[in-house]
Amino acid sequence: MNTLALDIGGANIKAAHSDGTARSQSFAMWQKPNELTTVLRELVNHTPGVDRILLTLTGELCDCFESRNDGVEHIIRSVEAMADGRHIAVWSIDAMGFVPCEKALQDPLSVASANWHALATFWARAYPDRAGLMIDVGSTTTDLVRLANGQPIFTGRCDRDRLATGELVYTGVQRTPIAAVAQQITWRRKTFGVAAEAFAFMSDVYILLKLLPTSADDTDTADGRPRTPKWCANRILRMIGSDLGMNDQYDATELAELFVDAQCERIVGAARQVFHGDVDLNRSDKYKLDCESFFISGSGEFAAQRVARMLNPQAEIVMLSDTISPRASEAACAHALLQLDKEIHRHG
């Protein structure tokens, strides 16, 4: 039986198929929520053999919905309309497993933004004899969850509570405005205020540093110009009131490294909060974390790996791109659903 797992977010739809393939597709939920069924149907039509569907979602937070409950209902009903009678199972935190759509709709907060829980449960069960920290860095957010004794260990359940505990950090490698990463930056012995304006995003930083691919055809950027090193550099320089007429691309690359440092330090602080309730990055051992293993996934694996090495250079790092594939890592939560479903069926 062929199974398709979906992780439906506000900006991307991640899909993983039981045949081992995985993909990520951009979809601006907040702009066109009523097109979700059509987009999903096209995705399924281009996927060979789909008998059943596994679902997790985060797109319910989009401001096109009046409330999270409304968002959950809209997404689930859209998947039902696309499914054409196929069986659908939704991941629930409360159930620690899958529930039917109607049960999910009766308790929408148990399935809202539950993708991190599915991923953490997968990692914990895959490595039950290891204690450590899951770091999943995506395009928009970062999830940090402790793992021990084959179980995820967490304090917050919903986004609101997880933002307070450090388990959710609203920073990612693509959609995060640079202005949300640093308010000032010290460069060449001068401290610059960073423009509180959407001149550039972290995707510009990572493209310039050759960690994300360039695209001359993609103009979904702050200024409508392509995702190429030249224009990424120009956008980054605008963050300190400059441009390529005043500075060069090498200068922009130096700034990009500083913005990466600022983003990673923020994640480091959150990781310390998750482990020790301590976010003081002024102490002498600010990077040290007593963690034996890091489990890394997401489209920003490279940033997660950098954070892990900052926290504990001697720790083991397990990357989903190495154990499965880069595509599976990008669609990590969807991949996790497939593996958890297989485990359930193995144990009857």
CATH topology agreement for domains 3-113+328-346 and 129-314: yes
Q: Which of the residues in the chain have pLDDT under 70?
A: 281, 284, 347-348
Residue from 298, 302, 308, 310 nearest 210 by CA = 302
Confidence (pLDDT) at 278 = 74
Domain ranges of the chain: 3-113+328-346, 129-314
- Enter the CATH code of domain 3-113+328-346: 3.30.420.40
Question: What pLDDT is attached to residue 281?
Answer: 67
Architecture category of domain 129-314 in CATH: 2-Layer Sandwich (3.30)
The predicted pLDDT at position 53 comes to: 97
pLDDT tens for 128-177 read: 999 999 999 999 999 999 999 999 999 999 999 999 999 999 999 999 99
In which residue are the tokens 């039981």 written?
Answer: 18
**Long-range pairs for 11-15 at CB < 8 Å and ≥24 separation?**
11/139, 11/140, 11/175, 12/139, 13/39, 13/40, 13/43, 14/330, 14/331, 14/332, 14/333, 14/334, 15/43, 15/47, 15/331, 15/334
Q: What is the largest CA-CA distance in the chain?
A: 66
Specify the pLDDT at position 346. Answer: 79
**What is the DSSP code (8-state) at residue 323?**
H
Quick one: angle between helices 301-311 and 249-276, nearest 10?
60
Q: Is the backbone of residue 277 left (phi > 0), alpha (psi -120 to 50) or beta? A: left
The angle, 0 to 180 degrees and rounded to 10, between the axes of the packed helices 332-346 and 115-126 is: 60
- pTM of this prediction? 0.95
